[in-house]
Structure 1
């Protein structure tokens, strides 16, 4: 079969062996595959990512010298069941699957491993128990967005945001757009999106953002007073002392009233910020500008050493949460949210290519004004090296 292989930081179309399913595995014909930001990172920073993975106990991310087939955002059609499978999902069924393979000695990450080739190919292997049938006649294009949408859903879930909270999304690339989609699907009433790119700000609006901001002209935190946030230490001190004084005038012990107020969620308001840029310096800038007690959820992957000022975060009680990936349940939920029309995922898709156009698509994705998510159709030879509009 044909596949796009990355080796020594170069992408080439090659003939590679057809996949043979082991116990519990299924062969899919790839219908669509999204090009992910992590694929772009891996092409340029493969050795760095490999070394980083070893530090967290996973020594299986390939080095730049290794031949790798990327692709973990996919929709495919079942063509063959391997031994030991239940065959409940029949041949011909369109499915998505959590991109992981169970090998005899480990779990491998599909598209991020030399031994688990991804969906930049005509066919690939998936684990039967990680497959999800595509519901409601959802198109292969939108179904292929399940994986990045699951990343956004996981970030929103981990943020513990409430519908009445203000969400601020910093960076409106594919990750930020997925977060916006999932925030609105969860019913968050106020979503503010910030990006320097006019094109990405437009996509953020299409995905449901209630307000878009160019940070060159307006800080996303400039209007903190309008939302009742605490932006300065004297205000926080006044809140504490003033609350104590007012509760002391009640005919009940003030500490009981204070505890009841906390249980009722009547404490200080604060925004939930999603950092979706992954560039050195952004975290400290956010801590500097954000109101007191802001929760910052770090979704963007910074591949360089960064510097933050912990004392600044301490004095403002800034909360940092770092997130990665998603659970199989969140993957399933993301697919159904898309299929049920609760997620406005279509704006993310800005182009399509065949296998021959993947290298050019990697270059094109460097321009935020033109593209967010480019899909690969491995069997569409008519697209050739051309990025087709959608």
Structure 2
């Protein structure tokens, strides 16, 4: 099969042997795959991520940074076959996505960050049959590829135990922050405040359901908000992942405030426990999505409750993956660029 791979911090397009499914594994032909910031992190800091996983426990410990692996964990594809002895829960020819985890056939890996389970930047993937989620007819491939990133935001949103009386603040309006906003809106939380430096992302936040979108350089998101009659936020979602964010939030949060840390910070994060204790703060660390979040994301996109169309940018082939990953954080870039590995 053809695939775009990461090797020693560079992206290449190469031929790989077709993966062979074992028991409990589905062989899937990829239709669409979204490019995520975590893919870009592996170009510049992949060895650091692997080292952290080996030292502290994490899903990337088995990766060898000098060996090629095929990225892509936001995908939709067509079931071609199963390994011998599989349950075969979804008929061949049907489209599926999944939580990007493989636990069958003796493997335990993150799809797209594994030498054994290539991701959606290749023509073929192996998926765990227990996690397959069948895509309804009529849902376009590119929209289906956004189920996984939306599901992460929905997971983060529910980790905060949102209540209709909360005033929520979402810091950072990339894909995860936008998903958090969508999840809060589904839960009936109002008002929702979003903060981001970039005007285009603030506009997207408004389209996803936030009530106020502010530039934190101009308006203090933790202070009395004039547009809310002087109310302050009490439920804060961090989706930035930079060192210093948690302590800044602790200093600014109200008494009995709740903080959900969704940003993926891989640097030391100093904080004063004293400050958090004095305010009786609850700090929740959010992780990846679970099957329930994938199901809600799929149903919400399919029935129109969440419109992810504004997230979509260009559709590219394998030859354009290197340039697209290198520019994921450039100003004005779309929330998601989608790869069709059937195209060169």
TM-score range, shorter chain: over 0.9
Work out the CA distance in 1 between the residues paired with 2:252 and 2:118.
Answer: 43
- Detail structure 1 runs of 4+ shifted over 3 Å in the superposition: 57-61, 103-106, 224-230
Compare the two structures and name the one with the higher helix fraction: 1
- Contact 2:52 / 2:58 at 8 angstroms: preserved in 1? no
Q: State yes or no: 1:350 paired with 2:313.
A: yes
Alpha carbons 2:158, 2:183 under 8 Å: kept: no
Matched residue SS, 2:108: strand
User: For each residue in 1:178-199, what CA deviation from the matched residue of structure 2 results, as whole angstroms up to 9, or x when unmatched?
Assistant: 1112211222221110001112
Residue 93 (1) aligns with residue 94 (2): yes
For 1:186, the equivalent position in structure 2 comes to 187
Question: Quick check: 132-141 or 209-218, which moved more?
Answer: 132-141
Distance 1:183 1:59 in 2: 30
Using the alignment, how far apart are the partners of 1:310 and 1:60 within structure 2? 30
> Which of residues 296, 309, 314 is equivalent to 1:333?
296
SS at match of 2:314: strand
**Does the Cα contact within 8 Å between 1:6 and 1:12 map onto a contact in 2?**
yes
Aligned position for 2:50 = 50
- Report the equivalent of 1:280: 243
Q: Which residue of 2 aligns with 1:371?
A: 334
Verify the 8 A CA contact 2:171 2:177 in the aligned structure 1. yes
Hey, what's the Cα distance between the residues in 1 that align with 2:252 and 2:60?
A: 38
Gaps of 5+ in 1: 231-269, 382-390
CA 1:350 to 1:326, structure 2 compared with 1: closer, same or farther past 3 Å? same
CA-based RMSD: 1.9
Residues 129-148 of structure 1 mapped to structure 2, 5 A cutoff = 129-148=130-149
Secondary structure (helix, strand or coil) at the match of 2:222 reads coil
Q: Deviations over 1:302-353 (max 9, x none)?
A: 1111211221212222221101112222222221121121212222212221
1:61 positional shift: 4.0
Flag the 1:334–1:142 CA change in 2: closer, same or farther, 3 A.
same
Question: What TM-score, normalized to structure 2?
Answer: 0.94
SS class of match (1:67): coil
Residues 1:81 and 2:82 aligned together: yes
Q: How far apart are 1:227 and its partner, in Å?
A: 6.6
**Residue 234 of structure 2 corresponds to which residue in structure 1?**
271
Alignment of 1:106-121 (within 5 A): 106-121=107-122
